[in-house]
Amino acid sequence: MTTASPAEEAIYNAARQFADPERLSAYLDFACEGNPPMRERIASLLRATPAAEDFFGRNAVNVSKLPGLTDADATVPTPLAEGPGTVISRYTLLQRIGDGGFGAVYMAEQREPVRRRVALKIIKLGMDTQQVVARFEAERQALAMMDHPHIARVLDGGCTETGRPFFVMELVKGQTVTKYCDEHQLSTRQRLELFIPICQAIQHAHQKGIIHRDIKPSNILVATIDGRPVPKVIDFGIAKATQLDLTDKIAFTQFHQFMGTPAYMSPEQAAMDSTDIDTRSDIYSLGVLLYELLTGKTPVEAKELTRGGYDEIRRRIRELEPPRPSNRLTTLSNDELTTVARSRAIEPARLARLIRGELDWVVLKALDKDRSRRYETASALASDLQRYLDNEPVMAVKPSRIYHLRKFARRHRVALATTACFALLLAVSAGISAAQAIKNKSLFTAAEEARLNEINAKQRETELRRLAEEARATAEAERDSNQRLLYTANLNLAKKDWDELNVGRAIELLEMHRPQPGQPDLRNFEWFYLDRLCHRDLLTLKGHTAGVGSVAFSPDGKRLASTSSEVKVWDATSGHEVFTLPGLTNGFSKVVYSPDGKRLSAGSGNRIVM
């Protein structure tokens, strides 16, 4: 192995994990495509492992049937592998839940110092070359530097007994972001609201000097926590340090080594020059993910992208211009479009119209082949999407007066609609007046025409005033209605908060309806009752010599009347007795205030006393 190149060493180590001769042969054909001499050298290396049988015993694999391997006694060692039940440090492996480019991910159980389920990632057998181990350790250190609610946290790390590194991270029980959005039928707005924290997580990584370089749906899991979708970015397995040396071992990406997923790969990644990758490469991948969330498709289909060899794949990534998302939807079949629209809870005909325009420009800015024209940061992309959600001008669109006026109209559509109605009314009135004036001019003399014009002007002014008064009265009625609805809703919430001992919030809701000078007072008995509950201890009123039959608060809540053999009126604030009405022999059964609070009536048998 001393004369083998790094590429041959990686292929050799990967080939050692195949136990099936046919699969091993297929792997060598694929890995050494177009380079028969290298395939023969690796085959020779596999044959020239005399100590393999002694080391691996019965796990050795016969390779005599492989093309180019003629020695009937030749063997290829099959390395031992972890599996469910294997104990690594303080963790017991439960099941294999995923595979990265260089590591396998297991669900594991930690027993000390706390008992919990975690995700444990360990380097794959046969992939432990110096470069891969260095990259894996870089991933472990990269994640350890992260501290963001939308990035999976690193909990622990170490090496197995055979020296293979592993790290432990929080177990994210979720679905890929695209699958979650489709199964929960999230609308376009909800998808954008979910995408924004993903951008913020990538921004955090960039601020730590880390480029993810493999952003795709399977590396972003979404779980429902407290009824809300929470995304988590995982797998920084091929992350690159932009500011820090994450490991002192050799961790440089091999020249012409194909890293990442082609459908989500930036043009500069496809160029295979690892020294020319910066954070804007992740912006491109975020643009592809956003494209897929909006349309259900990547800018270029994976099947179309991967036709041909590596050179053709790289050419397509660098040169194929993505269609606008709204145009991409028009190329889908009716069945595909129906499925995509249904998963977004929208009619197929409306989906393309919703995306056309601002969202087209935001996506295309992120996907620009020239990275100098992309968003500078993931945070800038998130901010532009938030501006879109807030109906504010987005930075991806070249500013123009018409564009800004359109955005202003969206934000103030109610006020503008009212103004437009008045303008239309004035225009109609002016048209009617003009027609009337033309008719009068043909019938009357100039003096009569002037008199009629004056009359018409007064009538027009009177009509406009009447219409304005009606509009004002309607607006005030709507405002009063809305205020009463708000008052009722807030009083219900305040009562609920009081019942739940949230007195502070109840007081806040009550204070919202304490009238300011010049404002109408909507408060009734219930407001004063709750206010007294929140601010004062309960009062005990004593004074009746017999049992109390009924009580009633005055409409303003300031007084309380009670009946027994007599009627007593109390100050509801201080609890002092104000006055007493003489009683009847049989006593009073009910007491009622008049609506204006100025009168009081009490009933006894078939008699009413006022």
Phi, psi of 275 (to 5 degrees): -75, -10
Do 38 and 129 share a structural domain? Answer: no
Last residue of a domain, one of 59, 76, 93: 76
Catalytic residue among 214, 282, 360, 368: 214
Do 234 and 125 share a structural domain? Answer: yes
The answer to whether residue 437 is domain-embedded is yes
CA–CA distances in Å: residue 245 to residues 168, 205, 466: 22, 15, 78
Which residue type, as a one-letter code, is found at position 480?
Answer: D
Bond prior to 77 in cis (omega within 30° of 0): no
pLDDT at position 367, please? 92
Do 473 and 419 share a structural domain? Answer: yes
Q: Which domain holds residue 506?
A: 412-537
Do 182 and 33 share a structural domain? Answer: no
Judging by DSSP bridges, how do beta strands 165-170 and 154-159 pair with one another?
A: antiparallel
Bridge partners of residue 580, in order along the sequence: 568
Q: How many CB atoms within 10 Å of residue 473?
A: 10
Q: What separation, in Å, do the N-terminal and C-terminal C-alpha atoms of the chain show?
A: 113
The rounded distance, in Å, linking the Cα atoms of 151 and 205 is 9
Do 112 and 44 share a structural domain? Answer: no
Do 178 and 38 share a structural domain? Answer: no
Q: Which of 51, 60, 48 is nearest to 19 (CA)?
A: 60
Do 204 and 108 share a structural domain? Answer: yes
pLDDT at position 76, please? 40
Give the CATH number, domain containing residue 172: 1.10.510.10
In the sheet with 607-609, reading across from the earlier edge strand, the strands are: 590-593, 600-604, 607-609
The answer to whether residue 305 is domain-embedded is no
Residues of the chain with pLDDT under 70: 1-7, 9-10, 13-14, 16-23, 26-27, 30-31, 33, 47-81, 100-102, 125-136, 162-163, 237-260, 272-275, 306-309, 398-412, 439-444, 536-539, 583-586, 605-610
The rounded distance, in Å, linking the Cα atoms of 106 and 120 is 5
The rounded distance, in Å, linking the Cα atoms of 281 and 273 is 12
Q: Which of 37, 16, 253, 31 is nearest to 128 (CA)?
A: 16
Active site residue 276: no
pLDDT at position 117, please? 93
Evaluate if pTM is beyond 0.75: no
pLDDT at position 35, please? 78
E strand intervals along 2-160: 61-62, 75-76, 87-88, 91-99, 103-110, 116-123, 154-159
Secondary structure in 3-state letters for 430-478:
HHHHHHHHHHHHCCCCHHHHHHHHHHHHHHHHHHHHHHHHHHHHHHHHH
User: Tokens 């007066």 map to which residue?
Assistant: 401
The answer to whether residue 239 is domain-embedded is yes
Do 100 and 71 share a structural domain? Answer: no
Do 440 and 583 share a structural domain? Answer: no
Do 573 and 455 share a structural domain? Answer: no
Helices 503-511, 525-535: crossing angle, 10 deg rounding: 140
The answer to whether residue 149 is domain-embedded is yes
Phi, psi of 100 (to 5 degrees): -100, -170
E strand intervals along 82-189: 87-88, 91-99, 103-110, 116-123, 154-159, 165-170, 175-176
The rounded distance, in Å, linking the Cα atoms of 258 and 200 is 27
The answer to whether residue 200 is domain-embedded is yes
pLDDT at position 129, please? 55
Q: Which two structure tokens, joined as six digits, stand for 109?
A: 């159980």
Q: How many CB atoms within 10 Å of residue 304?
A: 11
Q: Which two structure tokens, joined as six digits, stand for 300?
A: 């270029």
Do 154 and 50 share a structural domain? Answer: no
SS3 166: strand
The rounded distance, in Å, linking the Cα atoms of 584 and 567 is 10
pLDDT at position 272, please? 63
The rounded distance, in Å, linking the Cα atoms of 214 and 130 is 21
The answer to whether residue 335 is domain-embedded is no
CB contact at 8 A, 124 and 102: yes
Q: How many CB atoms within 10 Å of residue 501?
A: 8
pLDDT at position 67, please? 46
The number of domains in the chain is 4
Phi, psi of 298 (to 5 degrees): -80, 160
Which helix (H) or strand (E) segment is 380 a member of? Answer: helix 378-389
Q: Which two structure tokens, joined as six digits, stand for 341?
A: 């629209």
- Helix then strand then coil, % of the chain, to nearest 5: 45, 15, 40
Do 195 and 93 share a structural domain? Answer: yes
Which residue type, as a one-letter code, is found at position 603?
Answer: G
Last residue of a domain, one of 516, 537, 558: 537
pLDDT at position 401, please? 62
The answer to whether residue 332 is domain-embedded is no
Q: What is the DSSP string of 191-214?
A: HHHHHHHHHHHHHHHHHTTEE---
pLDDT tens, position by position, 27-71: 677 667 677 888 888 877 776 654 333 323 333 344 444 444 444
Q: Which two structure tokens, joined as six digits, stand for 106?
A: 């297991």
The rounded distance, in Å, linking the Cα atoms of 455 and 443 is 16
Length of the chain: 610
pLDDT at position 204, please? 94
Last residue of a domain, one of 45, 76, 107: 76
Q: Which two structure tokens, joined as six digits, stand for 239?
A: 């992350």
DSSP 124: P
pLDDT at position 53, please? 37
The answer to whether residue 400 is domain-embedded is no
